[in-house]
Amino acid sequence: MGSQTAEVRRGPKPRPHTRDNLIRAGVRMLHESGFTATGIKDIVAAAEVPKGSFYNYFESKEAFGAEVVDSYFETGLADLAARLGDESVKPLDRLKRYFSDRADGFKEAGFVRGCMLGNLSLEVADQIAPIRERLAEHFGTWSGLIERCIAQAQEAETISSRLPAALLAQFLLNSWEGALLRMRAEKSDAPLNQFIEVVFGSILV
């Protein structure tokens, strides 16, 4: 926050939204093109902010990337939590509807971009610890929401309790990320449909 104040003092015109604009542009561009392919110059241009302002807000591209990951996940989190926690719908129906709606969305978008958490896990997690840590944390939150649905379905005896809800939730989330990965390679929603068929026809039974 200190450097933000400094920027406002130095700049010819105060721009309180500069930081938000940079993050928003970062979410869009990192999701579309990845971390390495997106230059700071591109981000600054897309955010329509003064060229020199980037380092007033972020100490490095890596630190910026970690905040972009947070923003990407947190923007969708309220909707995710509301859908997976919607007690007016049976837990298993909630989960199935969630994945089906996501599959429809990817079909409409032309099978591109996928999930930024997954993309950056493969692109930069080995190299950039602060980004990797954010990814791990958000995957944990996401998995926890899935786990609660599965636990509720097990409590209601809709599905078997043989395997722990936590194990199933982790497996489902990772398999979903894998289905998205294959969707990108195939340019097809077959992997997403196969995921839904096996998960809801054979695993969660």
Number of residues this chain uses to bind its own copies (CB under 8 A): 49
Q: How big is the chain by its Cα radius of gyration, in Å?
A: 20
Residues 6+ apart with CB under 8 A from 13: none
Residue choice 53, 56, 119, 152 for contact with its own copies (CB under 8 A)? 119
Q: Is 126 in the site for its own copies (CB under 8 A)?
A: yes
Q: Is 203 in the site for its own copies (CB under 8 A)?
A: yes
Q: Is 91 in the site for its own copies (CB under 8 A)?
A: no
Residue choice 33, 71, 100, 158 for contact with its own copies (CB under 8 A)? 33
> Which 3-state string (H, E, C) describes 38-69?
CCHHHHHHHHCCCHHHHHHHCCCHHHHHHHHH
Q: Is 194 in the site for its own copies (CB under 8 A)?
A: yes
Q: Is 184 in the site for its own copies (CB under 8 A)?
A: yes
Q: In the window 136-175, what residues touch its own copies (CB under 8 A)? A: 136, 139, 162-163, 167-168, 170-171, 173-175
**Phi, psi torsion values for 14, nearest 5 degrees:** -65, 135
Q: Which stretch binds its own copies (CB under 8 A): 2-10, 11-19, 93-101, 196-204?
A: 196-204
Q: Where does the chain have alpha helices with state H?
A: 2-10, 18-33, 40-47, 54-57, 61-84, 91-109, 116-123, 129-155, 165-186, 190-198
Q: Which stretch binds its own copies (CB under 8 A): 12-20, 83-91, 106-114, 145-153?
A: 106-114
